[in-house]
Chain A
Amino acid sequence: MIALLGRLRNQFRDSPTYGRDRASLFSGGNFGIIGLLLNAMVLLPMMLLMLEMNDREIRMFLGALEFGQLLSLILAGGTAGLITLLVPLRMTTLFMGPRTGRYFDQIVLSGISPFRFLIGKVTSQNLFLGICLFMMIPYVVLSLTVGGIDLLTFLACIILLWVYSIMLSLATLWTCLYMNEVLAAMFVIAGAAILGGFGAVPFGFNPIAVTPFPALVQSLYTSLPPNFFGITQPKGFWVHFVSCLTGMSLISLLALLALWVGPLYGIIKENSTFGEVVRPGDSRRKRLFRLRPHIQRPSEIAFFYQNRSDRLGRIEGLWRWGGSLTGLTALLCFAYACMSAIFLIPLGMAGGRGAIDWIGGFHIMNFVIYSVSLILAGFIFCHPLNTTFLQLPVFGRVRASTAFLDTFCFILFAAISTGLLELVPRAFDLMFAIPTGISVMYPGGAERSSMSSVGFYPVEFMARLTPIILISALTIYALLRALCLQVWVKSMATVGVIGLYGMGLCAGPVIIMEAILEFQHLQFFRDMRPMMRDIATASPVMCGAVMFGEDHRIPPETPFGSFYIVHTFVILLALVSIYLSSRKVRKLYLADPPEVKS
């Protein structure tokens, strides 16, 4: 254990990237830029407050706070904002980060392991945060002099900022494995900003504790007078501190694990290890279409995974797919357990019959978990064209291609989740609902709820909605697999599927239905009126809306034949595309070079 800790310490201490980043960061220019940006972040909220000084609410709000308290809040918030913006940009070397363009090949050739390379990058973020905190010293001194700041709370906020900076670094690097640098930085900044924004909402207990904002703004909300604009008084600072620390640490650990495991490495043959992309017709395409989504590749960091030790490689198929399948199933079970636990509360509180209004919600949650799990499985069990036909050792002498393992695991997971979808309500019924005198599985009629029609006939309802969700998931998966055979990064294929399925099959039929209803004065749309139901119910969204009684223009008993026809057609089309593309890709991406007799 001590030896292991010693080795881990050496990973940090003797990291080449750390040394390089340190040298790159410590320059007058960088200090100046960080100082300027930090001042901007700190002074901007102050300026905004000053502009609205005559506003009654603002005056009331400011009157409730001490100056030092406000200043410390702005300091911590400003630094958190700066970190949110600059850490992903630095990590992806888009801004203030050491660029590796011209000597990247030399780094890869050194054979450095990806983990060792990345750990140095993350460590170097401490220096960056250190500089930010150093720049804050004058404000801190001012804040302490003026008073109103609780030093212990302030130090706790700095700890949160440190963990946040580490989490952002790890999350950016994790994202970089699956998309290019620009997209990864945008994704993480946007994600952190959204989660931070939600985190700042004054809930009694904020569940979105994956940024430091719930804890940072807590002092602000507690200083406000009771019932100030109906704001709920949040729990104490330390509750938020612990929850934020736990949330961010969990994400950091998850990202660390994901970075250690890494992506399935498959060389992008057209540009070999990296460098200029060359593929038939690309020179022409480059001139015509600068974005080139079909040749987007993951960030350069992903290429280090060729240097990974072979220890895990011998059973790569087993641990990678087996681990994903087990993890997904565990996550699904956890989600169902949480759902059941949440629904136990009204059941216990209402003592049976009063809880009947929750039954609809129970079934909706059941279906939401099922749908999300299938989409997640589709995304996980899918690989871009450079890895689709890699032959991987599963165990012993058994080898299988990525494509086979993906398909097998997705189908297996779909079967498991469909089974759980059926099983969970029945188990809940037997274990919790029936003992309290109600049932969530009754065939209809006896226990009517005025809130939702779902509770009336869940058995029939499930029998009708389950295939809709399953077939939608299969269609999405088939489209994703088909698009993945055209591009090098899955994120690009995902964007394509969102466009194709989301716009084409989900929104498209609904838009056509609305057009038919809206433009009845036009002959063309009048002629389409008899087909309106069939067109609309081709969309799974509309099928759901009809079944949940959300759209009364189409009666609930409408058959969903068009949904099945359109989706079967799309699946067949995707399969043909997969077949045609796979022939080409197989030829281009043989897993191993042909044997050469020496």
Chain B
Amino acid sequence: MTTPAVEFFNVTKTFDDLVAVNDVSLSLPRGKTLGLIGPNGAGKTTLLRILVTLARPDCGDVRINGHSAIRDPLMVRQMLGFMPAEFGSPRNLNIGEYLDYFGCLHGVSSKERPKRIREVCELTDLTGREQVMVKGLSTGNRQRLLLAKTLLHDPDLLVLDEPASGLDPRARTELREIVRTLASMGKTIIISSHILPDIEDFSDRISIMEAGRLVIDGGLNELRETHASTTRVVRIRVPEADWDRAKKLLGEPAEIESVRERDHFIELSTNAENVNFTLGILLEHDIRVLQFAEDEPSLEEIFMRTTAGKVT
């Protein structure tokens, strides 16, 4: 059996009287993307800092590719790339110098560095901007630069803390594309964010934290099945001629909770188990179904249902 890329074993971390992370255990296979979400003060950043060896848990252990982050931090540091939420840079550097500085820190040889810098600039769409001073960069470009810096030593595991924070929609979309590309390259990615549609978009697994605890953890479909509301909204379009008949038929069974018209669709609420039943009613009465769509519960809905807004 392959060793998981990341494993947390009963990790607990307290600050003063505050329990920032409380008995968290989870594991992530290699090449997968984990979205870590939670309200402010849920303990996400502390958990990530423990993972990247910047904080030491009070108890428990964290392993990356089988290496303990507590016993063997140096080895672990070489395997991961951490993109912090806060941007910090030495003064008076341009993008090229900034990347060269971090490349040098990571021990990329002076021969390799220019090539590697070119590659990461290309990947993060910074090509041609190497001479731009870091100080004057927009938030979007700063995030790209941080990501480029994180990729310089080609780590297997990427830990991205709030990468989309403060970005405009276009920059967010572009960043999402970059993350998708990285995932397709086989990188294991852990990403914490408040922007749930982004997480929903590219995460293989979702973990929700609240008040230091891991509230839920699993694949998105799994979460939808287990944690979303059982009521489904179904949207149906039928030919104009059959419109009234269809509405009448759908309004009769007790299994269907409500029926209404909306944007040329018949929108009805029913239990998840009865979705096929509604379709069956129409087909039984020879009504042509032009469009049939079941609204999947969003991550936002799951998040709101599973968290109570508690902070540590």
Please list the residues of chain A having a beta carbon within 8 angstroms of any beta carbon in chain B: 13-16, 19-20, 23-24, 26-27, 98, 100-112, 267, 269, 272-273, 275, 278-283, 306-307, 310, 592-594, 596, 598
Residue numbers in A under 8 Å from B86 (CB-CB) = 102
Q: Can you list 27 contacts pairing A with B, beta carbon distance less than 8 Å?
A: A16-B101, A16-B105, A19-B97, A20-B101, A27-B91, A27-B92, A98-B90, A103-B89, A106-B82, A106-B149, A109-B52, A109-B80, A109-B82, A110-B153, A111-B77, A112-B107, A272-B49, A272-B54, A275-B54, A278-B16, A279-B16, A306-B73, A307-B74, A593-B60, A593-B68, A593-B70, A594-B59
Q: Give 6 new A-B contacts, CB below 8 A, not counting A24-B92, A112-B106.
A: A27-B92, A101-B88, A267-B56, A307-B77, A596-B61, A598-B63
| Complex alpha-carbon distance, A23 and B53, angstroms | 29
Query: Do the beta carbons of B88 and A106 come within 8 Å of each other?
Result: yes
Residue pairs across A and B with CB atoms within 8 Å: the count is 112
Query: Do the beta carbons of A278 and B15 come within 8 Å of each other?
Result: yes
| CB 8 Å contact bits of B102-115 with A (1 = contact, 0 = none) | 10111101100000
Known: A272-B54, A593-B60. A20 touches B90 (CB 8 A): yes
| Complex alpha-carbon distance, A104 and B54, angstroms | 11
B240 close to A (CB within 8 Å): no
CB distance from A523 to the nearest CB of B (A): 51
Query: Do the beta carbons of B17 and A593 come within 8 Å of each other?
Result: no
Point out the residue from B15, B77, B109 that lies within 8 Å of A110, measured CB to CB.
B77
B100 close to A (CB within 8 Å): yes
Query: Do the beta carbons of A23 and B91 come within 8 Å of each other?
Result: yes
| Complex alpha-carbon distance, A214 and B295, angstroms | 86
Q: Which residue of A lies closest to B103 (CB)?
A: A16
Residue numbers in B under 8 Å from A109 (CB-CB) = 52-54, 77, 80, 82
Query: Do the beta carbons of B59 and A593 come within 8 Å of each other?
Result: yes
Residue numbers in B under 8 Å from A598 (CB-CB) = 7, 9, 63
B307 close to A (CB within 8 Å): no
Number of B interface residues in the complex (CB < 8 A): 48
| Complex alpha-carbon distance, A227 and B7, angstroms | 80
B57 close to A (CB within 8 Å): yes
Known: A23-B92, A98-B90. A272 touches B101 (CB 8 A): no
Residue numbers in A under 8 Å from B61 (CB-CB) = 593-594, 596
Residue numbers in A under 8 Å from B68 (CB-CB) = 593
Interface residues of B in 37-96 (CB under 8 A from A): 49, 52-61, 63, 68, 70-71, 73-74, 77-78, 80, 82, 84, 86-93
B141 close to A (CB within 8 Å): no
Query: Do the beta carbons of B92 and A283 come within 8 Å of each other?
Result: no
| Complex alpha-carbon distance, A110 and B52, angstroms | 11
Question: What secondary structure prevails in chain A residues at the interface with B?
Answer: loop
9 shortest interchain CB distances as A-B pairs: A102-B88, A103-B88, A272-B55, A16-B104, A110-B105, A596-B9, A278-B15, A111-B77, A596-B61
| CB 8 Å contact bits of B227-251 with A (1 = contact, 0 = none) | 0000000000000000000000000
| CB 8 Å contact bits of B1-27 with A (1 = contact, 0 = none) | 000000101100001110000000000
Residue numbers in A under 8 Å from B106 (CB-CB) = 110-112
Residue numbers in B under 8 Å from A267 (CB-CB) = 56
CB distance from B203 to the nearest CB of A (A): 24
Q: Which residue of B lies closest to A270 (CB)?
A: B15
Residue numbers in A under 8 Å from B59 (CB-CB) = 593-594
Query: Do the beta carbons of A98 and B91 come within 8 Å of each other?
Result: yes
Q: Which residue of B lies closest to A280 (CB)?
A: B16
CB distance from A289 to the nearest CB of B (A): 16
Point out the residue from A15, A105, A111, A281 that lies within 8 Å of B84, measured CB to CB.
A105
Q: Which residue of B lies closest to A23 (CB)?
A: B92
| Complex alpha-carbon distance, A593 and B106, angstroms | 27
Query: Do the beta carbons of B71 and A23 come within 8 Å of each other?
Result: no
Residue numbers in A under 8 Å from B52 (CB-CB) = 109
Query: Do the beta carbons of B16 and A112 come within 8 Å of each other?
Result: no
Q: Which residue of B lies closest to A20 (CB)?
A: B90
Interface centre among B10, B73, B84, B104 (most CB of A within 10 A): B104
Residue numbers in A under 8 Å from B78 (CB-CB) = 111
| Complex alpha-carbon distance, A20 and B91, angstroms | 8
CB distance from B124 to the nearest CB of A (A): 16
| Complex alpha-carbon distance, A593 and B49, angstroms | 17
Interface centre among A13, A15, A104, A269 (most CB of B within 10 A): A269
| Complex alpha-carbon distance, A13 and B77, angstroms | 24
Q: Which residue of B lies closest to A283 (CB)?
A: B16
Residue numbers in B under 8 Å from A310 (CB-CB) = 74
Q: Which residue of B lies closest to A588 (CB)?
A: B58
Q: Which residue of A lies closest to B86 (CB)?
A: A102
